[in-house]
Amino acid sequence: MNTPLRLGIAGLGTVGRGVVTMVQTRADLLATRTGRRIEITAVSARSRHKDRGIDLSAYDWEDDPVALAHRDDVDVVVELIGGSDGPAKALAEAAFANGKDIVTANKAMIAINGQTLAEQAEAAGRVLRFEAAVAGGIPIVKALTEGLAGNKINRVMGVMNGTCNYILTRMEDAKLPYDTVFDEAHQLGYLEADPTLDVGGIDAGHKLAILASIAFGTKPNFEDMILEGIEHITFEDIRRASDMGYRVKLLGVAQMSGRGLEQRMTPCLVPKGSPLGRLENATNMVVVEAEEAGQITLRGAGAGEGPTASAVMSDIIDIARGLRLSTFGQPATTLQEAPAALAPIPAQYYLRLELLDKPGALARIASALGEAGISIDRMRQYGHADATAPVLIVTHKATRDALDHALEAFKQTGVLAGEAVAIRIEQV
């Protein structure tokens, strides 16, 4: 048996508790699989005396997480504090400077400061690992960085925020409005302290930026991502989209082409019968379209104590086994700048409009589309008791520019009640 691998753990929330529990309950299995004991030397969190339901008595306590990076009896610092900057980043930098590896679950930090930190880590000969930052228990970072490393990657897609998927599927199943389900999710503890991180698509966007970096060998570029949350999705959208054979998902898509790197985290429609369309509740799914391997889909729990701890442990196990790899699968200094695509690749769009009950109303809308160069794939007007008629249109492929022109022209027709809703249809 080799020397033990000694951990310093910063952050004892849900994930930290899970990691401590795994180190304790899986000690023998971890020793068998890695050839070393995996031990915790010291821990740090905001409140020392909070009851977390785990036994921390054998570990030293540090009030300042950065102190973990300065301890001679710590080999790996496990950063579970969160936040793109602040103490998390300070801790990572101190760790590399002091010859320690970092394992983190911090998606914001990797998406925003991953390039800087990766360069620091690699210059210091240390590793920066973050399997837990993307899609919880699903080993997608490893699949992309290692399992599919020989492939040219064409597209990466994913539903990677369980809370949003819970809200959307719950709205559909229970026929409830967004606000009601949002409140439910809040009460169930599904939402981050700042719910915009979830429902605004930011959390999922961080994850997508990380996967895009690995897939395309580019510096993480969260800044240029097209980001749109689910706050404006109504039950009506969900129901009508379903009529047309689609489900609404907060879908991340990253795609490299001659146009540059396209990264979107937005509500999209996907066919009901597709694996992504069938994804229920808080489950996550990542779809990788690889040139040689074809379409590879991974599905599992995207959050929670056990799943996230499992991912953190897999990084710790790699380090214990001596499996050391560049942060994003190739040296950080070789990652390319990712020029953002000027506009998304053309797609079909789903449009939902409320038309005033006037003669020629539909004709004006159809003309506006035609003038914008957009042709109609399918159209449906519903019977109605009141003064407006719901109309659904599925267009043929159109540029976002053309669509925006059409949406602007709709407003000039004088036959539209309220705003037209437009949702991209993603071929999956």
Q: Which residues are catalytic?
A: 207
Q: Does position 348 bind a second copy by CB under 8 A?
A: no
Task: Characterize 17-42 residue by residue with b for buried, 16 or more Cβ atoms within 10 angstroms of its Cβ, and e for exposed.
Answer: bbbbbbbeebeeebbeebebbbbbbb
DSSP calls for 239-282: HHHHHTTEEEEEEEEEEEETTEEEEEEEEEEEETTSTTTT--TT
Least Å distance between CB 282 and a second copy? 11
**Footprint of a second copy on residues 318-337 (CB under 8 A)?**
318, 321-325, 329-331, 334
Q: How many residues bind a second copy (CB under 8 A)?
A: 58
Q: Could you tell me the CA-to-CA distances from 94 to 87, 99, 109, 131, 418 in Å, in that order?
A: 10, 9, 15, 21, 54
In the three-class reduction of DSSP (H, G, I as helix; E, B as strand; rest coil), residue 4 is classed as coil
CA quadruple 301, 305, 307, 310: dihedral, nearest 10: 170
Map the footprint of a second copy across residues 290-309, applying CB under 8 A.
290-301, 304, 306-307, 309
In the complex, minimum distance from the CB of residue 170 to a second copy, in angstroms, rounded to a whole number: 18
Could you say whether residue 54 binds a second copy (CB under 8 A)? no
Site for a second copy in 263-292 (CB under 8 A): 275, 278, 290-292
Nearer to a second copy, 131 or 172 (CB): 131
**Smallest distance from the beta carbon of 292 to a second copy, in angstroms?**
4
Instruction: Tell me what percent of the chain is helix, strand and coil, each rounded to the nearest 5.
Output: 35, 25, 35
Whichever of 211 and 420 has its CB closer to a second copy, that residue is 211
Contact 133, 210 (CB under 8 A): yes
Rg (CA), the chain: 24
CB of 26 to a second copy, least distance (A): 6
Of 89, 129, 142, 249, the residue at the interface with a second copy (CB under 8 A) is 142
Residues 202 to 221: which contact a second copy by CB under 8 A? 217
Cα–Cα distances in angstroms (integers) from residue 97 to residues 44, 90, 206, 262, in the given order: 19, 11, 26, 35
Q: Is 107 annotated as a binding residue?
A: yes
The residues that touch a second copy, with contacts defined as CB under 8 A, are 18, 22, 26, 29-30, 32-35, 131, 136-139, 142-143, 146-152, 217, 275, 278, 290-301, 304, 306-307, 309-311, 313-314, 316-318, 321-325, 329-331, 334
Binding residues: 107, 192
